[in-house]
Amino acid sequence: MNGTADLVKSIETLTSFLPNNPLGTPLESNWRYMTATYTEWEIATYGSIFVHEVIYFMFCLPSFLFQFIPSMKRFKIQQDKPEERQWGCVKLLLFSHFCIQAPMILGTYYFTQVFGIKYDYDSIPRWYVLAAQVIGCAIIEDTWHYFLHRLLHHKRLYKHVHKVHHSYTAPFGLVAEYAHPIETVVLGMGFFIGIVTFCNHMVMMWVWVAVRLLETIDVHTGYDIPWLNPMHLIPGYAGSRAHDFHHQNFVGNYSSTFVYWDKLFGTDKQYKDYYAQLKNKQQ
Ligand SMILES: [Zn+2]
Ligand SMILES: [Zn+2]
């Protein structure tokens, strides 16, 4: 116990120059204004829909613009495959966001009431607690995603559900949530297990939404630019090349975020062989 208390104290001393919580003082007044002006139902419902929509399209924007910037082409993974059927993707995406995901978000308020999730500024967890909670959520989601995604590739299931997501063999950011409604619900459950396990504040829920969107949009961008995404600082982060290969090859690399499960079960073999061959050809 003493060891944990000492560790927490050391982290607090080392980071004493930072504001008391991860939002910092510039955003404090806005958060206090929001909680004073809107009801918890409005924050949980409209706030969560707003956070999801703004972050989704904001994170998709850079890689959407890259297709118009010739100098970015050298970062494109499948060089010979331009982005195509983008409008079709947006249409199904908007249907999914407002007809499948928004009704699910309607349950957020009731979840926060049952589990005692806090909304007030003073209860916002310290930044390192938030970071640990989000990493915990990512590990749980990655595990869920690996096994359920692999199951969705079973020949009896694939053509009924997961085929929709795989209609793009050279993905781009918006493809991240382009999926059959059943897939949205089934794979989406991995996102909620982490929340049920770790969430104690609305901020934590929204930070996890942002991190999960950053991850899933990054791996679908079709561009490999590690320095643009801080997720690459996390050991074992798979990155865009791994999932891009999954769309190109249909087999292997079933994890969403990390490399561990694919390594353990050898489902990254075709991916490794492909890049080993490519390297040999270039030499
Ligand atoms: Zn797949
Ligand atoms: Zn995908």
Report if residue 205 sits inside a domain: yes
Report if residue 32 sits inside a domain: yes
Range of the domain at 220: 28-64+84-225
Report if residue 172 sits inside a domain: yes
Q: What is the mean pLDDT of residues 254-262?
A: 97
Q: Which residue has the higher pLDDT, 173 or 230?
A: 173
**Residue 152 clears pLDDT 90, i.e. is over it:** yes
Q: How far is the CA of 64 from the centre of ligand 1 (A)?
A: 22
Report if residue 12 sits inside a domain: no
What is the spatial distance between Cα 283 and Cα 266, in angstroms, rounded to a whole number?
Answer: 26
Q: Which ligand is nearest to the CA of 249?
A: 1
Q: How far is the CA of 152 from the centre of ligand 1 (A)?
A: 7
Report if residue 17 sits inside a domain: no
Q: How many domains does the chain have?
A: 1
Q: How far is the CA of 170 from the centre of ligand 1 (A)?
A: 13
Q: How far is the CA of 211 from the centre of ligand 2 (A)?
A: 16
- Percentage of the chain lying above the pLDDT 70 cut: 92
Report if residue 279 sits inside a domain: no
Q: How far is the CA of 164 from the centre of ligand 2 (A)?
A: 10
Q: How far is the CA of 175 from the centre of ligand 2 (A)?
A: 7
Q: How far is the CA of 246 from the centre of ligand 1 (A)?
A: 6
Q: What is the pLDDT of residue 138?
A: 97
Report if residue 101 sits inside a domain: yes
Query: In terms of Cα–Cα distance, which of 233, 236, 257 is closest to 246?
Result: 257
- Dihedral sign, CA of 240, 197, 148, 96? negative
**Residue 3 clears pLDDT 80, i.e. is over it:** no
The per-residue pLDDT of the chain, averaged, comes to 91
Q: Which ligand is nearest to the CA of 169?
A: 2
Report if residue 75 sits inside a domain: no
**Residue 26 clears pLDDT 90, i.e. is over it:** no
b/e sequence 118-148, b meaning 16+ C-beta within 10 Å: bbebeebbbbebbeebbeebbebbbbbbbeb
